[in-house]
Amino acid sequence: MIARYGIGYDNIDVDAATRFGIVVTNVPDYCIGEVADHTFALLLALARGVVAAANDVRHGGWEVPSAGIKRLQASRLALIGIGRIGSGVADRALAFGMDVVAHDPYVADWDPRLERASTVEAALEGADFVSLHAPLTAENHHLIGRTELALPSDGAVLVNTSRGGLVDLDAVVEALNSGALGGVGLDVTEIEPLPADHPLRTHPKAVITPHMSFYSAEAQDELQLRAVESVVDVIAGRQPRNPVNADALFGGR
C-alpha cells in the first residue's frame, strides 16, 4: 500500500498503483480548520495591509496607509471549490459580512447562503477577493492565468492555500505590477521552495508562507495517527478508512 501523509495525492500515480493492486490512502479531513483559518489569515493580512504596516513600524516608520486597505463587509468573495475547506472559509467570510459566490461542479447539496456560479469565470467576475480550494488535476493546471486575473474587480486579492499548480505565477506578477491585483497571499507555489530570486519573494503586495497552512500541533498528531492506522488496517486485511482507489480495488465499498 501507499499511505499518503496528507490530503492531496497528485504526487502519486494512482492509476499505476491500481493496476498493480496497490491500495492508496490519504487523510482528507485532518486539518480542515487549520487551512480555513490560514486562508482567512492571509485574506485579512492583505485586506488590512498588516504585514506592510508592521514591517514599516519595525524599521522605524509610523505611517497610516493612504491606499490599498479594503473593507470586508459587503465585499464579494469568490471561492473556487466548496468542499470541506472551502465551506469553512465561507463560514468565516459570512461571519465578517462578506457576500460569497462559489463554483464547484462536484457539489450537489448546495449551501443556500452562497451564490452559485456555473463557471470559474462567472465566479471571478467582479470579485473583490478570490480563494482557491480545488485539487490539482491535469485539466485545471494554471486554472488562474492572465485571462482569469482580468475578471475580478481592480485591486482584488487572490489567496491560494490549495495547490501551487493552480496559479500561473508569471501572470500574478504581471497583475500585481499593473494594479489588476491588489495583493496575493500564497501558502503554496508550483515550485517549492519558491526560488530565492523569484520576484514574489520581495514584492510589496505579496504575503507568502512556507506551505504551513496544514500545521498545528493537534493536526500533526492526528495526521500521524490516521496515516499509521491506514497501514495497520491494510496489514490486518481490513479496508482502510480513506482509500483513494476504493472503486477499483474494493468495488466501491
| Mean pLDDT (whole number) for 193-216 | 97
Q: Which residues of 69-93 are buried (b: 16+ CB within 10 A; e: fewer)?
A: ebebeebbbbbbbbbbbbbbbbebb
Query: What's the rounded Cα separation, in Å, for the pair 226 and 224?
Result: 6
pLDDT band at 114 (very low <50, low <70, confident <90, very high): very high
Query: What's the rounded Cα separation, in Å, for the pair 172 and 158?
Result: 9
Query: What's the rounded Cα separation, in Å, for the pair 145 and 175?
Result: 10
Say what the pLDDT of residue 252 is: 52
* Residue whose C-alpha is closest to residue 240's, from 11, 249, 7: 249
CB atoms within 10 A of CB 213: 23
Say what the pLDDT of residue 84 is: 94
Active site residue 211: yes
| Mean pLDDT (whole number) for 87-104 | 98
Strands across the sheet with 156-160, in order?
115-116, 99-103, 76-80, 129-132, 156-160, 181-186, 206-208
CB atoms within 10 A of CB 160: 28
Catalytic member of 48, 141, 142, 211? 211
pLDDT band at 251 (very low <50, low <70, confident <90, very high): low
Of 149 and 6, the one with more pLDDT: 149
Q: What confidence tens digit (pLDDT) does each residue in 213-243 have?
A: 999 999 999 999 999 999 999 999 999 999 9
Say what the pLDDT of residue 66 is: 85
Catalytic member of 19, 113, 121, 192? 192
What angle (nearest 5°) sits at the alpha carbon of residue 66, between those of residues 61 and 67? 125
Phi and psi at 51, nearest 5°, equal: -65, -45
pLDDT at 180 over 70: yes
Catalytic member of 92, 103, 133, 163? 163
The pTM assigned to this predicted structure is 0.90
Domains annotated on the chain, with CATH: 2-29+216-250 (3.40.50.720), 32-208 (3.40.50.720)
pLDDT at 176 over 80: yes
